[in-house]
């Protein structure tokens, strides 16, 4: 999710058999991105593959309507967040040129841009086809992963950076004040945002975490467990309370909650430009599992 006030953790490196493309501004070229790999000694059964992680991340932030074209899953949610309004490249398209035409028409009739989300598991031929048709990167980042094999972080209570805070969790229903905080701190002020957010954020078995001072929320996070993998997102601290350890507190609590619900690993998506969030996750033991990028179609001009 975009950097700036507040951080949102929302919304492909080259190599044999992996997708790559030449970079276009405003996003950085994925060929130039450095992805730090984690230790290779992790037990394979406890860490998801890139393909499994991609499917889990998609399921944790579902579209309100979807369509399948070969290995592509088209998501539609009236434009609310990139993640819910993109084509997730879960597998190859049978005929990428024909499929791409169908994709662009499906988004055009809904008044949405045609954009793809590609991870390192994306089919390289399909990515090459997108590039040939003028698609270019608009946002890049990393899928971060941490094994909970050695036990989850201890649940924390009370202290955060010298401030006395209370940590709370709720779910699966979305608490109204949590939603208010997320919309405000994430600068989502459209009427559709308040209408659509609960349908996406509450769609799975999610838990909504909060850090409170004197009863008022100062930081929030969401954790969802799907098939033994936890997904942490919506980690935001109110601007006036940043730098006090509230994000670190909730990140540890989210991992504890995921492990309590049977997760053996945790994932998060962090955009490349959000250095603060990348440092936070790195210090918590997360390493890069894959890079990701959003690729958007150029504006098509009709000849008539």
Whether the full predicted model's pTM is greater than 0.85, yes or no, is: no
Task: Per residue of the chain (304 residues), give pLDDT as tens.
Answer: 433 433 333 333 333 333 333 333 334 443 444 444 444 444 445 799 999 999 999 999 999 999 999 999 999 999 999 999 999 999 999 899 999 999 999 999 999 999 999 999 999 999 999 999 999 999 999 999 999 986 656 545 444 555 667 888 888 889 999 999 999 999 898 889 999 999 999 977 899 999 999 889 999 999 999 999 999 999 999 999 999 999 999 999 999 999 999 999 999 999 999 999 999 999 999 999 999 999 999 987 665 5
Domains and CATH numbers, the chain: 159-286 (3.40.630.30)
Helix (H, G, I), strand (E, B) or coil at 15: strand
Give dist(CA 207, CA 129) in Å, integer: 39
Helix (H, G, I), strand (E, B) or coil at 226: strand
Give DSSP secondary structure letters for 114-175.
-EEEEETTS-HHHHHHHHHTT-EEEEEEEEEEEE-TT-PPPP--SEETTEE-EEEEE-SSPP
Residue holding tokens 């790195």? 282
Parallel/antiparallel/unpaired status of strands 65-69 and 166-170: unpaired
């Amino acid at each position: 999710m975009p950097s700036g006030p507040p951080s949102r953790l929302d919304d492909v490196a080259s190599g044999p058999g992996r997708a790559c493309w030449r970079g276009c501004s405003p996003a950085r070229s994925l060929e130039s991105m450095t992805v730090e790999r984690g230790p290779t000694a992790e037990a394979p059964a406890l860490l998801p593959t890139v393909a499994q992680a991609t499917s889990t991340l998609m399921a944790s932030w579902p579209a309100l309507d979807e369509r399948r074209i070969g290995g592509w899953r088209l998501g539609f949610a009236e434009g609310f967040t990139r993640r819910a309004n993109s084509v997730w490249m879960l597998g190859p398209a049978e005929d990428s040129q024909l499929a791409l035409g169908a994709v662009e028409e499906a988004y055009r009739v809904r008044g949405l841009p045609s954009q793809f989300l590609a991870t390192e598991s994306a089919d390289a031929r399909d990515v090459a086809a997108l590039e040939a048709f003028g698609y270019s990167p608009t946002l890049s980042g990393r899928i971060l992963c941490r094994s909970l094999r050695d036990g989850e972080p201890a649940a924390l209570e009370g202290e955060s950076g010298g401030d006395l805070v209370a940590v709370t969790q709720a779910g699966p229903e979305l608490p109204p004040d949590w939603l208010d905080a997320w919309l405000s701190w994430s600068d989502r002020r459209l009427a559709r945002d308040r209408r659509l957010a609960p349908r996406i954020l509450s769609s799975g078995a999610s838990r909504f975490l909060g850090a409170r001072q004197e009863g008022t929320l100062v930081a929030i996070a969401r954790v969802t467990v799907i098939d033994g993998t936890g997904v942490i997102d919506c980690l935001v601290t109110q601007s006036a309370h940043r730098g006090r350890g509230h994000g670190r507190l909730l990140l540890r609590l989210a991992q504890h909650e995921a492990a309590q619900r049977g997760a053996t690993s945790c994932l998060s998506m962090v955009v490349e430009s959000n250095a603060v969030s990348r440092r936070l996750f790195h210090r918590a033991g997360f390493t890069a599992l894959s890079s990701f990028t959003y690729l958007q179609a150029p504006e098509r001009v009709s000849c008539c």
